[in-house]
Chains A and B, each alone.
Chain A
């Protein structure tokens, strides 16, 4: 049997302590700071993206099998529920068409600007890395600056808003999910128009903070992006208001419990403060 190699034991111990010390210093410098992406971070992300895309293929297959088994088990019940829903939606569609026509006439008479500024163009992207970790909740997308993605762009699934882009490389982008601790977006109640900030706290249902007109928020209110901060367009579907155990207002996210595979990046250009346009235009593709 080979004996242990103790020839460089002391030197190795010093090296270990140095590595731990450097790590601690790096961690200390980030305390309380927002996560600003460095060039190295984006380079690491760019390196990882193709590998993650390759690795994601068998994982997605496994997810599809798992989802397919679950869907097959409830296919009959789902079919019946969907038939009832279609009948109800046909009725609502007729009402909606009438109302849309009426609203369009009123808008024409009053001359109001109701443009939500949600771009019609959407950039399809694949979520190649989904991180639902103890502190960070983010996605890695396989699109980047070359595809027209910019920092701050909203990212949507078929159900609603997922988050926004926090850093972009040439071929990859990282998305901060609405549930992440650092996520803050301006939202409004679609029913009352009352506004609040949707603040992620690493829980599945982010909380509503800085609530204006608390009396105008109710259980079940549909929550949309308010567009107040200029970073997201108004009207993006976010979720529904629920109460937490302490009686606080939280939002059950529309995109909450679905596995994110394909998403859309909306190439929305944030409203810039006068004087900021020159500096921020450097980020534009």
Chain B
């Protein structure tokens, strides 16, 4: 049976704030990388995991404000193109619109969602970078970043589960 959520906007702000802070933290982490097997694996795709597991109960406008601000913060912090990550975050969040989904992602659909997020982000990053610098990106660097973020995705899902349980066993907090 389906019923419409009757809770007030103020109760939806907390999930938006928690998710927004997690996104900002992931943006800060994304400036780093790990050197292994002779290559640098960057964390730039890490914030996208937070977008994919965004709580469905979060207030949409507050969420979007956090998403856009975290994108700008990531751009400033990483010394990249200002507006690039803000645009990627806004597009990805806007495409999935967590508040419009009635049920969490199944494990299979989560894989497809993640792959489509990686593909869409790569396209937006490539086009915006090409527009500013006039060259195509280092696709190997992009691939390494996607690989690292994909390896971290199950850990993020586990963390997400633990956080949502601690805050309250709320179905709407799930992805």
B113-161 at interface with A (beta carbon < 8 Å)? 125-126, 128-129, 131-135, 137-139, 141-142, 145
B22 at the interface (CB under 8 A from A): no
Does A51 make an interface contact (CB < 8 A)? yes
The digit string for B44-60, where 1 denotes a CB below 8 A from any CB of A, is 10000000000010001
A15 CB contacts on chain B under 8 angstroms: 60-61, 64
Task: List, in ascending order, chain B residues with CB within 8 A of A56's CB.
Answer: 32
Bin the interface of chain A by size: 35 or more
A24–B61 alpha-carbon span in the complex (Å)? 20
Q: Is the CB of B86 within 8 A of A26?
A: yes
- Residues B103 and A135 in contact, CB atoms below 8 Å apart: no
Task: Tell whether A59 is near chain B: CB-to-CB under 8 Å.
Answer: yes
Alpha-carbon separation in the docked complex, A37 to B77 (Å): 11
The yes or no answer to A63 lying at the interface (CB within 8 A) is yes
Q: Is B164 an interface residue (CB 8 A)?
A: no
Expressed in whole angstroms, the minimum distance between the Cβ of A211 and any Cβ of chain B is 21
Interface hits, B20-65 → A, CB 8 Å: 25, 28-29, 31-40, 42, 44, 56, 60-61, 64
Partner of B4, one of A3, A27, A35: A3
B13 part of interface (Cβ distance < 8 Å): no
Q: How large is the interface on B (under 10, 10 to 19, 20 to 34, 35 or more residues)?
A: 35 or more
Q: Does A4 contact B (CB under 8 A)?
A: yes
Contact A133 B90, CB 8 Å, known A15-B61, A66-B36 = no
The answer for the CA separation of A136 and B5 in the assembled complex, in Å, is 44
In the complex, A124 has a CB within 8 A of chain B: no
User: B35 to chain A: which residues have CB within 8 Å?
Assistant: 63, 130, 259-260
Binding site for A on B (CB under 8 A): 1-5, 25, 28-29, 31-40, 42, 44, 56, 60-61, 64, 67-68, 71, 73, 76-84, 86-87, 90-91, 93-94, 97, 99-103, 125-126, 128-129, 131-135, 137-139, 141-142, 145, 171-172
